[in-house]
Structure 1
Amino acid sequence: MDRFFKISERKSTVGNEVIGGLTTFLAMAYIIAVNPLMMSIAGIPFDAALTSTCFGAAIMTIAMGIFANRPLALASGMGINAIVAYSLCGATALGVDWRVAMAVIFLEGVLILVLVLCGLRKAIMDAIPVNVRRAIGIGIGLFVAFIGLKGGGIIVGNEATILTLGDLTSAQCIVALVAIALAVVLETLKVKGALLISIVVSTIVGIPLGVTVMPTEMGFGLDFSAFAAPFQIDPQSNTVAILQVVTTPALLMFVFSLLMSDFFDTMGTVMGVADRADFVDKDGNVEDIQPILMVDSAAAALGGFFGASSITTYAESTAGAVAGARTGLSNVVIGVLFAVFAFFAPVVGMVSAPATCGALVVVGYLMMTGVGEIDWTSMDSAFPAFITIMGIPLTYSITDGIGFGFVSYVVIKVAQGKIGEIRPLMWVATVAFFLMFVFA
């Protein structure tokens, strides 16, 4: 096992990998409860969506561990599942059947896999300027911290100021503040498993405060009826779902839009996690990126096939990397837990967003350390980095933030008359972003 996963070679231990896997799992376990609810809005039976969510995450997370040997966990993506529920399905959206929506996801994943096999996805990553690469990881750090603060109720929406401070005396905020205090103090004292401890203790603290919801039942029956969704019959058109997609221009536009989102979300997430898990070189290049991209692309297609929405790499993987995960062994731990909790989802539901707040905030802090490596003295390289860092959390989208950075970089270089410094694939990516911003 040590030789297969290169545990000693990467200066890790089995204990570190287990703790890292547990930390990542708890940080992203909310998806077990959230995704089936979102998919049920789209029309998928809840038990079927739960089964698909858990087994899809389990299979692809373990696949990433075995084939890429990197601590990158995967599960159904938040954002894309919302697009499925509210933009593709439902009376207020296009109103397509959920099987057709899954066919859109499936086709998008297949196209991304083709791009990876052709080498285009890696080539675009290599074409990104160094400062923008560094900025992506920093922006994701702020994004992750923002997710934590928002989930903990410390930051709330406000019509007048957009965002404002939440009620710090509320039960939700108290649990979040305990989580932050524990995570910061334990991390400062270099306690092994600091983030995991903060999540578990905060979950316990939330019980008497009513934030942690105790399970009323311990299991669900497995339901595989959503599997092979793209190849099931669409009851609205009485044709195979995927045929409905390839013959409908509006649905093909959704395929393109989701492809852009998946393409660059993963790119940003991998760069962010790689920086914390020590598999990025001094130029910001991710080591052994090809197998990572292949597994992630296959996961998008598999998510559509399973009826789980697009399965993608999770930014919360940074929590496990900070906790010590360096190899794919942590993925095996995560994958096994996802499979087990297909039967015990209510137990995972006990881990509330406020309980994970501390772990995510500390991860955000740690990912900010790369800000000093950006050359801020030259606006032509610094401004694209700045707009990327700002854009990711403020638009609540890794893809949009990266798009802002790409477009601004190209515009500045053109204005300077330095067109020759723009790599061809940066032009391709920038044009694609421009089309996405205009038409999506």
Structure 2
Amino acid sequence: MTKAASETKKVNAFDRWFRITERGSTVGAEVRGGFTTFMAMAYILVLNPLILTGATDVTGERLSLVGVTTMTAFSAFIATVIMGAIGRVPLALAAALTVNAVVAYQIAPHVTWAQAMGLVVLEGILIMILALSGARTAIMNAIPRDLKYAIGAGLGLFIALIGLVNAGFVTRRPDSDGTTVPVVLGSGGELQGWPIVVFLIGLLLMIALWGRKVPGAVMISIVVATVLGIVIETVASPGGWGLVTPTVPERIFAAPDFSLFGQVDLFGAFTHLSIVTVIVFLFTLVLSGFFDAMGTIIAVSDEAGLVKKDGKMPGMGLVLSIDGAAAAFGGVTSSSANTVFVESAAGVGDGARTGLASVVTGSLFGLAMFLVPLAAVVPQQAAAPALVLVGGLMCAQMRHIDWTNVEISLPAFLILAITPFTYSVTAGVGAGIIAFVLLKAVRGKWREPGWLLWIVALVFVAYFGINALGQLG
């Protein structure tokens, strides 16, 4: 065989594996789409560390900012390349904003970080089992579609509130000197200081760029706000930035920090919490990760022309299994559960149709591991606008809820209100499901929720009653 013939054969094998020609794409289009997806979701390298390092575990310990940033990039690198090379679809994965907030603000305060990440690993394993066994269909059917929308929107409100609090735009009651309202504007009821100015400029710029559909709008705004923060800190030294003070980094490149890799206590949470509490935490993690992944995979794949007329996508089981494995791997790296990012649609819109685009995106995350010093100078005020924007976009799911049906509207409202007000996704989801089955029962429709949802509701009743039962005992 001649050298030319051999090279042609390799190219053909490469093309066949990724189905580039079959899906009407080109290598150039896939590379371009991969870059676009990375630019659209690169903000997670800033936001995930911001969320995870903004909370403390039961011992008062915080995760390392540099370590979390490295692990966020590394985890996204491995998960996305595998999805591209094996799943062969243009779907990129990284730490899920709907899960990391649950891990940081709901689970970590009750256990150690290693134990919290152990629950993330178990979540990923459960998602894989659900994907492979077909049980996902039963769970999907058990929870009403409208309540799923409410859960997604409630998470959006939660994430947006975290962004506002991290930026200092609002202050939660425990931090506001005995005020009698849940949150107050700024500090003591008014906005003060240059850091708030940076947040407001970053937010307005991000909204403007997003409205103009500028590619990489989120990342561009974070960079601009960070540069503005560095200039202000250099000239005025106002302080008040929180966890990170924006200063010119001493270096751009640095060796990755893998110190958090493998810091997992798989079953330690069971020794600190009741079995019911652990089950509810796991249920919340699975709920947050599993359904978001399903919706995103279908939506992005449909846009890429990979969904058949019957609404099914070939290879869905494999894609969901990879998503579950990626979630578990996120726990192993202490970067929280990975999931498919809806920003993958940006790459699809720019021509991506195959897994080659994901390989490109993943490789860029791999390169980002060596640029951690740049991410480590981003103040909360520069990154928080992305939380507000993403949270607001997630709230768009509310439009699908049937607000005219009291059996849906009241449970949905409880989910939407309780989730951000209590800083607890579990509390919001639990209240909504209990209200749903109760309303069905009192209206003579107790069979409609199905036995599985009744069991879930009883688990939540036990969860809310744990403290009272403990006092009775």
TM-score w.r.t. structure 2 length?
0.70
CA contact (8 A) 1:179 1:199 kept: yes
CA drift at 1:347: 0.9
In 1, distance between residues paired with 2:118 and 2:452?
29
Q: Which residue of 2 aligns with 1:161?
A: 181
Letter matched to residue 70 of structure 1: L
- List per-residue Cα deviations over 1:23-82 (Å, max 9, x = no partner): 322144243476579699769998876655542332124334552643442368344256
Give yes or no for contact 1:112–1:263 (8 Å, CA) kept in 2.
yes
Q: Does 1:73 align with 2:99?
A: no
**Counterpart in 1 of 2:223?**
200
- Answer yes or no: is the 8 Å Cα contact 1:33–1:345 preserved in 2: no
**Residues 173 and 272 (structure 1 numbering): CA distance in 2 closer, same or farther, change over 3 Å?**
farther
SS of aligned partner of 1:214: coil
2:337 is the alignment partner of 1:311? yes
1:341 aligns with 2:368: yes
How many Å apart are 1:179 and its aligned residue? 1.4
Query: What SS does structure 1 have at the residue aligned with 2:184?
Result: strand
Residue 75 of structure 2 is matched in structure 1 by 56
> What is the deviation of 1:406?
1.6
Structure 2 residue aligned with 1:386:
413
Q: Give yes or no for the alignment of 1:416 onto 2:443.
A: yes
Pick closer, same or farther for the CA change 1:419–1:367 going to 2, 3 Å. same
> Residue 43 of structure 2 corresponds to which residue in structure 1?
26
For residues 58 and 100 of structure 1, what CA distance do their matches in structure 2 show? 24
Counterpart for residue 130 of structure 1: 145
Distance 1:7 1:168 in 2: 53
In structure 1, stretches of 5+ residues that fail to align are 90-97, 231-240
Relative to structure 1, the CA distance from residue 27 to residue 249 in structure 2 (aligned partners, 3 Å threshold; closer, same or farther) is closer
On the 8 A contact 1:195/1:359 being kept in 2, the answer is yes
Deviation sequence 1:208-238 (CA, Å, 0-9, x none): 12353332344554565665556xxxxxxxx
Q: Is residue 112–residue 259 contact of structure 1 (8 Å, CA) maintained in 2?
A: no
For residues 319 and 413 of structure 1, the distance between their equivalents in structure 2, rounded to whole angstroms, comes to 37
Secondary structure (helix, strand or coil) at the match of 1:29 reads: helix
Whole-Å separation in 2 of the counterparts to 1:310 and 1:7: 36
Q: Deviations over 1:270-324 (max 9, x none)?
A: 367569858599xxx9978644542343234334444x2642438xx45665796
Decide whether the 8 Å contact of 2:164 with 2:170 is kept in 1: yes
Q: What are the equivalent positions in structure 2 for 1:245-324 lying under 5 Å apart?
A: 250=273, 255-267=278-290, 269-270=292-293, 273=296, 277=300, 290-291=317-318, 293-306=320-333, 308=334, 310-313=336-339, 317=341
CA apart distance, 1:254? 6.5
The AA in structure 2 aligned to 1:60 is A
- Tell which structure's C-alpha radius of gyration is larger: 2
The counterpart of 2:246, out of the listed 212, 223, 248, is 212
Give the direction of change, closer, same or farther, for the CA distance of 1:292–1:404 in structure 2 (3 Å limit). Answer: farther
Q: 1:170 to 1:332 in 2, by over 3 A?
A: farther
Q: Which residue of 2 aligns with 1:121?
A: 136
For structure 2, the residue ranges without an aligned partner over 5 or more in a row are 1-14, 174-178, 234-244, 468-473
Counterpart in the other structure of 1:95: none
| Corresponding residue to 2:157 among 122, 142, 157 | 142
* Residue 210 of structure 2 corresponds to residue 177 of structure 1: no
Look up the SS of the partner of 1:73 in the other structure: strand
| Distance change (3 Å), C-alpha of 1:86 and 1:157 | closer
SS at match of 1:356: helix
Partner of 1:87: 110
Residues 273 and 318 in structure 1, CA contact (< 8 A), matched pair in contact too:
yes
- The one-letter amino acid paired with 2:172 is G
Q: Write out aligned runs for 1:345-424 (5 A).
A: 345-424=372-451
Question: How far, CA to CA, are the matches of 2:64 and 2:207 in structure 1?
Answer: 41
Residues 314-356 of structure 1 show CA distances to partners (whole Å, capped at 9, x for unaligned) of: 8xx4566579688767754553344333333221122333223
Kindly tell me the number of residue pairs found equivalent between the two proteins: 413
Change (3 A) 1:111 1:103: same
CA contact (8 A) 1:23 1:196 kept: yes
Q: CA deviation at 1:421?
A: 1.7
**Residue 152 (structure 1) aligns with:** 167
Q: Output one character per residue of 1:128-164: Cα deviation in whole Å (capped at 9) or x when no partner.
A: 2122122233323323332332232212223421211
Q: 1:359 to 1:322 in 2, by over 3 A?
A: farther
The structural deviation recorded for 1:15 is: 4.5
Distance of aligned partners of 1:402 and 1:17 in 2 relative to their CA distance in 1, 3 Å threshold = farther
Structure 2 distance, partners of 1:402, 1:275, is 23
Q: Percent identity?
A: 31
Deviation, 1:175, is 1.2
How many angstroms apart in 1 are the aligned matches of 2:75 and 2:438? 41
AA of the residue aligned to 1:21: F
CA distance in 1, matches of 2:219, 2:42: 10
Change (3 A) 1:279 1:431: farther
Change over 3 Å in CA distance of 1:192–1:312 after alignment to 2: closer
d(CA) in 2 for partners of 1:139, 1:100: 26
Do the aligned partners of residues 433 and 367 (structure 1) sit closer, same or farther apart at CA in structure 2, a change above 3 Å counting?
A: same
Residue 431 of structure 1 aligns to a residue whose secondary structure is helix
Change in CA separation of 1:399 and 1:27 when aligned onto 2, cut-off 3 Å: same
Q: For the Cα contact (< 8 Å) 2:127–2:290, is it kept in 1? A: no
Where 2:246 maps in the other structure, the secondary structure is: coil
